[in-house]
Amino acid sequence: MNKKKLMYSILFEINNGSMPNHIDYHLELFMWAEIIEVIDDLGYVKGITIYYYGDDEWFDEAVHSVALNSPQLTNAGIEFLEENIVWNKSYSGIANLNEWLEI
């Protein structure tokens, strides 16, 4: 899966008022949390919280949930979308999201 395209898709959906989730992308929750954390670390979006189970012998800080609390793109997130505008036409007309992410 092309992670840059995945980030584009997530940011595109947030920018258009959708609330994407790991099920939309057929991702395990921990994988979803990793990509959301990268998006957050890069400063592309605000309004994201990742919840972890406590660090104990059973969970070892496993992801509990990912909350998109009224997420909004930052200027950096908008710039990322603009820098990758070439994907907009192919993304807007997709029938199968996962096939698009593989291209």
DSSP 73-90: E-HHHHHHHHHTTHHHHH
Give ∠ CA 58-56-66 in degrees, rounded to 5. Answer: 80
HSE of 11, CA atoms in CB hemisphere, 13 A: 31
> Residue 57: what pLDDT?
57
In a domain, 57, yes or no: no
In a domain, 65, yes or no: no
In a domain, 9, yes or no: yes
In a domain, 92, yes or no: yes
In a domain, 60, yes or no: no
> Residue 61: what pLDDT?
64
In a domain, 32, yes or no: yes
Residue 88 vs residue 78, higher pLDDT: 78
Domain span holding position 17: 3-45+71-102
In a domain, 41, yes or no: yes
> Residue 56: what pLDDT?
55
HSE of 50, CA atoms in CB hemisphere, 13 A: 19
- CB contact at 8 A, 50 and 60: no
> Residue 88: what pLDDT?
81
pLDDT tens string 39-67? 999 999 999 988 887 655 555 567 788 88
Model's pTM, two decimal places? 0.83
Give the number of domains in the chain.
1
